[in-house]
Amino acid sequence: MSAESTPPTTPTTQTTPTAVILALWLNAARSGFVSATDAANACETLADQLGYELASEPIHPKMYPMLDLVSRALLSAIPVTVALPVFGDPAGVPAHVLSQVDAQCGLVAIDETLLLACNAAGSWLVFETSHNVAFHDLNHARRQLNESISQATEFLASAALIGDSAEVEEELRNFGLLHLPPSLATRNQQALELAARIRIVANNAIQSSIAIASPSNDRKRIEMLQTLDRQARELLQAVSTS
């Protein structure tokens, strides 16, 4: 997404989308670190829903218990991954699915033909459809984000760029990750926290820059902040498959 095409203003952004945590539990079950039942229970608690509507059968919806989704993930030849679409970047999610879901929650690619996503009403839906959700290498994503942080330090350090600094400070102070699998490595948990905190600062700064609207200076910093947010999302996606 370019600075010339800025996203619509939204009240909040999920800095650690629920889909990322769900994928971590599903992959923990795939790796044998937790049982299928434990993974299903954790995912049901996170999603706050015991059944899932199969969106491809709207007239006679089939209930799709989370344990069945875990079983489907266990049978897949590839790890569960996550799509984090934003304005201008569908992240490999088909348009007919994206139009029905809340992209801020993210989407879980259970396998090559099954997506799990949350709609605006808070219901989790299963879509049986092909998709192009990509995998991201963890080391590469971490390196790219760290390099961008170094390049953007002077921008992020400027009070004028972070919008309401009190609001940002409160978000950072109240930030906490959802329940994570016990097998998640400390380094990967730190990567999750880094990406989420960068998204808090970057998204507030983007909204502030859009509001100020001084085109000559804002274009470059909006591009830089959007790059930070994109690379933070890629790091979240990479951790979800680790």
Whether residue 57 has pLDDT greater than 70? no
Whether residue 42 has pLDDT greater than 50? yes
Whether residue 26 has pLDDT greater than 80? yes
Percent of the chain beyond pLDDT 70? 72
Q: Which of 55, 65, 67 lies closest to 25, judged by CA?
A: 67
Whether residue 237 has pLDDT greater than 70? yes
In whole angstroms, give the CA distance from residue 2 to residue 227.
10
Whether residue 45 has pLDDT greater than 60? yes
Q: Per-residue confidence at 8, pLDDT binned at 50, 70, 90?
A: very low
pTM of the shown model: 0.80
Q: What is residue 122's predicted lDDT score, i.e. its pLDDT?
A: 79
In whole angstroms, give the CA distance from residue 36 to residue 241.
17
78-100, pLDDT tens digit by residue? 999 999 998 889 999 999 999 99
Q: What is residue 226's predicted lDDT score, i.e. its pLDDT?
A: 86
Q: What is residue 155's predicted lDDT score, i.e. its pLDDT?
A: 58
| Cα-trace Rg, the chain | 18
Token representation of residue 107: 């989407």
Percent of the chain beyond pLDDT 90? 38
CA angle 104/216/164 to nearest 5° reads 45
Mean pLDDT, range 116-126, rounded to an integer:
85
In whole angstroms, give the CA distance from residue 233 to residue 196.
8
Q: Which of 131, 122, 66, 69 lies closest to 97, judged by CA?
A: 131
Mean pLDDT, range 192-217, rounded to an integer:
73
Q: Return the exposure string of 14-38: e unless at least 16 CB atoms fall within 10 Å of the residue's CB, then b.
A: bbbbbbbbbbbbbbbbbeeebebeb
In whole angstroms, give the CA distance from residue 203 to residue 225.
8
In whole angstroms, give the CA distance from residue 30 to residue 18.
19
Token representation of residue 129: 């459809």
136-188, pLDDT tens digit by residue? 999 999 999 888 887 777 655 554 555 556 666 666 655 666 688 999 999 99
Whether residue 120 has pLDDT greater than 70? yes
Average pLDDT of the chain? Answer: 79
Q: Per-residue confidence at 61, pLDDT binned at 50, 70, 90?
A: very low
Q: What is residue 90's predicted lDDT score, i.e. its pLDDT?
A: 94
Q: What is residue 146's predicted lDDT score, i.e. its pLDDT?
A: 87
